[in-house]
Amino acid sequence: NRILVLNGPNLNLLGTRQPEVYGRTTLQDVETACTSHGERLGFAVECMQSNHEGTLIDAIHAAKGVQDGLVLNAGAYTHTSIALMDAIASVELPLIEVHLSNIHAREPFRHRSYIAPVAVGQICGFGAHGYILALDALVEHLGKKRS
Ligand code: DQA
C-alpha cells in the first residue's frame, strides 16, 4: 500500500511564498502531515517536489507498478502541461489533483487544468488540509476499486 505525493514548481517555497494566498504551512509541514496521515490509513506515503517538468514526468513514470496512486499539486504546470497530462494517462494510476488555493476563484488562466481530465477528482481551496482530503479520497477510491 503505497502513495506518492508529488509537488511541482515553486511549492518548495511554501510558507513564505505569498502566504496570503498559500498560507504559512511549509512544504516540510505538508509532507510530515501526509506521511503521518498515510500511516493512519495504512499507507506508506512518499513525498517529492521538483521545479522541473521533466523530473515530475520521470517521477510519474517511475510510480507505475510501485505506487498504488498519486496525489499531485502540479503548481503552474497544471495550466500549461500537456506532457504531464500525457504522463498521467500513460501510467494508469489513480491520481487526485490538489491546489491550496481555489483556482476557480482566481485569474481566468488558472481555471483551466490539464490535470483534471486525467484525475479521479480535484480538491482546491482548502489550503494545506487539501492534501489530507486528497489522501482520504484516494484511499477511498482504491478501496472501491479493490472490492
Ligand atoms: C497552485 C495554484 C496554481 O495556479 C499556482 O501556479 C501554484 C499553486 C495551488 O496550490 O493553489 O503554483 O497549484
Work out the pLDDT band at 144, boundaries 50, 70, 90. confident
Instruction: Please give the residue range of the domain that contains residue 26.
Output: 2-146
CATH code of the domain containing 142: 3.40.50.9100
Catalytic residue list contains 99? yes
- Rg, Å, the chain Cα set: 14
Q: What is the secondary structure of 72-112 as a DSSP string?
A: EE-GGGGGT-HHHHHHHHHHT--EEEEESS-GGGS-GGGT-
| pLDDT of 146 above 80 | no
d(C-alpha 91, C-alpha 97), whole Å: 15
Tens of pLDDT, residue by residue over 74-110, are 999 999 999 999 999 999 999 999 999 999 999 999 9
Residue 59 cell numbers, joined: 517521477
Mutate which of 99, 102, 113 for ligand 1 pocket (most atoms within 8 A of beta carbon): 99
Q: Is 73 in the pocket of ligand 1 (CB under 6 A)?
A: yes
Tens of pLDDT, residue by residue over 118-141, are 999 999 999 999 999 999 999 999
Q: Domain total for the chain? A: 1
Q: Is 110 in the pocket of ligand 1 (CB under 6 A)?
A: yes
Sheet arrangement for strand 44-49: 44-49, 2-7, 69-73, 95-99, 121-124
pTM of the entire structure? Answer: 0.96
Q: What is the dihedral of CA 38, 117, 142, 74, to 10 degrees?
A: -10
Q: Averaged over 6-26, what is the pLDDT?
A: 95
Q: Is 99 in the pocket of ligand 1 (CB under 6 A)?
A: yes
Q: Averaged over 45-67, what is the pLDDT?
A: 98
Per-residue pLDDT, 147: 52
ipTM: 0.99
